[in-house]
Structure 1
Amino acid sequence: MVSFRGASADAVAVLTEQLGGVGEGSAAKVADDLFSAAATIRSEATLRRFVTDQSVAPEARKGLVTELFSGKVDAVTLGLLGEAASRRWTKGRDLADALEQLGVIAAVRSTGLQGNQLVDELFAVRQTVTGSSELRNALSDPARSGADKSGLIDSLLAGKALAATVQLVKQALSGSYRTVVAALEDYERVAAAVQGEGVATVHVARPLAAADQQRLATALSRHYGRTVHLNVVVDADVLGGVRVEIGDDVIDGTVSSRLDDARRKIAG
């Protein structure tokens, strides 16, 4: 997830708590509104500087944002935007990044009890994009319009995935992240975190049996003190064993890793 520090972290905590009152039925609309507001603030440098300028009174910043977005977003979103504008931000870009993250949280909440399915679908899309240079190039091609790329996502996912999955994959095209894949990976983490879970990417030589997945998930959950959601990748570079990536931690128990260790010891 995007890392916020200092005043920005405090602001995000307050806004996330405020977002907690949004119901499942309206959460998708709130997500769309927050994504739109984030895009506006990113694209309008004068507006961004004004609403993050600490020399301007919080009431003035809040008043401008309320006036600008009134009638364009619902009351819940307008309240969030006003609160966001009145807060201190460590860096100017943090405001738009925070609104996007809040939008992702709202999209996750719109799925109700299907949050785990959302994480799985985002992972599946990320794997598809990673594995297809043609699709990856199509989604990153600056010559293709946003509407064209959005239509491509609809053709791939409409009727086959949750509405929130489609919504978030389209948001990943906004360019706020270095790549679409990086955006989807971050959205997965946010989706899991909303449910109090972590995400572990597990690289194996061949598919894991359900019982083995459950044992690994239980062991990791016990170690990290929270439920861990597994994303399993069948990786040709893994000769055997398992490599687990969770946050900044890497647990490498693969045969290839042990062979590399042996080669280094022989060479040393």
Structure 2
Amino acid sequence: MRGLSRSSFAEVEERFNAVAATADLGRLAEDAHAVAVLLDREHGLRRNLADPARPAEQKAGIARSLLGGRISEAALETVVAAVSAKWSKPGDLVDALERFGVIASAAEAESLGVLDDVEDELFRFGRIVEANPRLRMALADPAAPADAKAGLLRELLGGRVSTVSLAMIIRLVQHPRGRSLEAGLDEYIHLVAAQRQQLVAVVRSAVPLSDGQRQRLVSWLRTTYGRDVHLNTEVDPRVIGGFSIRLGDEMIDTTIAGRIEEVRRRLAG
């Protein structure tokens, strides 16, 4: 989000934080996501509720009329605050509601003491999907019923991941909103990490890092970036030697494979 939408998100977040403090966070997450899905599907409703020319009171009234009694009070107050704000484009309203759903899930995980687990589980599931084309196709198939996808995920992950992670993954798989599953999981991971103002670093190496190496790397990244860092690690034999670190759009590559590729690019240039 940029400009007007970024400012509006910050304003709505204040209201969200106020209602979330005493809310059933799991229900809040589910309801916020459900409204995002509704607005994603109903284009006319989305345009009307995001129309900056309409009075905020009118849009709030529409939201209360449609959703009152159907979603939790905390979710309704969040939606009312969101539709009363002004957005650069209608899609930003939907993005904001989905984000608030993920943030509510992260807050729920933190309250249960499983926030680290959720970060790791989302990351690991993304790598499982990446390595299994048949699973990716089954979960991404637009013709497959949403309930069937949820059943498959419960069979695969039930008892193996936290209930918070499972709920988040099911919601994302059922309603990817035009993203690949991997891209959606990456977005969710960064929103979960932001619950503690952490950066997420993905480290790829040829062999598993020892505990000492992980601790030194986390310490160096914390000093370099001035923020806590959550480390996700991947073992990839193609790395050959060294390791690479990805933080958002930034890449630090010390691998032999990376150096070889750099030489190839220079020769080609």
TM over 0.5, shorter chain: yes
Say which of 105, 108, 111 aligns to 1:107: 105
Q: Alpha carbons of 1:224 and 1:42: their partners in 2 closer, same or farther (altered >3 Å)?
A: same
Q: Alpha carbons of 1:24 and 1:122: their partners in 2 closer, same or farther (altered >3 Å)?
A: farther
The count of aligned residue pairs is 265
Structure 2 residue matching 1:237: 3-state secondary structure: helix
Give per-residue Cα distances to partners, 1:31-56, cap 9 Å, x unaligned: 00001000111111111111111121
The sequence identity of aligned pairs, in percent, is 33
CA contact (8 A) 2:59 2:83 kept: yes
User: Which residue of the partner structure matches residue 225 of structure 1?
Assistant: 226
Q: How does 1:100-139 map to 2 (within 5 A)?
A: 100-111=98-109, 112=111, 113-139=113-139
Say which of 4, 9, 12 aligns to 2:6: 9
2:208, 2:184 → 1: CA distance?
26
Q: Alpha carbons of 1:157 and 1:107: their partners in 2 closer, same or farther (altered >3 Å)?
A: same
Structure 1 residue matching 2:239: 3-state secondary structure: coil
User: Which residue of the partner structure matches residue 76 of structure 1?
Assistant: 74
User: Which residue of the partner structure matches residue 146 of structure 2?
Assistant: 146
User: Which residue of the partner structure matches residue 185 of structure 1?
Assistant: 186
Letter in 2 for 1:178: R
Give per-residue Cα distances to partners, 1:55-82, cap 9 Å, x unaligned: 2111001110111100011111111111
TM-score normalised by L of structure 1: 0.94
2:81, 2:23 → 1: CA distance?
22
Give per-residue Cα distances to partners, 1:200-256, cap 9 Å, x unaligned: 110100100011011101101111110111110111220000100001110000012
Q: Alpha carbons of 1:267 and 1:87: their partners in 2 closer, same or farther (altered >3 Å)?
A: closer
Structure 1 residue matching 2:216: 3-state secondary structure: helix
1:227, 1:49 → 2: CA distance?
39
Confirm whether residue 90 of structure 1 aligns to residue 84 of structure 2: no
Structure 1 residue matching 2:188: 3-state secondary structure: helix
User: Which residue of the partner structure matches residue 48 of structure 2?
Assistant: 50
Say which of 29, 32, 42 aligns to 2:30: 32
Structure 1 residue matching 2:142: 3-state secondary structure: coil
Q: How does 1:196-215 map to 2 (within 5 A)?
A: 196-215=197-216
1:198, 1:134 → 2: CA distance?
31
**How far is the alpha carbon of 1:25 from its aligned partner?**
6.5
Structure 2 residue matching 1:90: 3-state secondary structure: coil
Q: Which runs of 5+ in 1 are unaligned?
A: none
Give per-residue Cα distances to partners, 1:174-206, cap 9 Å, x unaligned: 021421111011100100011110101101001
2:41, 2:262 → 1: CA distance?
49
Structure 2 residue matching 1:199: 3-state secondary structure: strand
CA contact (8 A) 1:25 1:110 kept: no
TM-score normalised by L of structure 2: 0.94
**How far is the alpha carbon of 1:265 from its aligned partner?**
6.1
Q: Which runs of 5+ in 2 are unaligned?
A: none
Structure 1 residue matching 2:24: 3-state secondary structure: helix
CA contact (8 A) 1:154 1:166 kept: yes
Structure 2 residue matching 1:142: 3-state secondary structure: coil
2:129, 2:120 → 1: CA distance?
14
Q: How does 1:52-67 map to 2 (within 5 A)?
A: 52-67=50-65
Q: Alpha carbons of 1:264 and 1:26: their partners in 2 closer, same or farther (altered >3 Å)?
A: closer
CA contact (8 A) 1:69 1:78 kept: yes
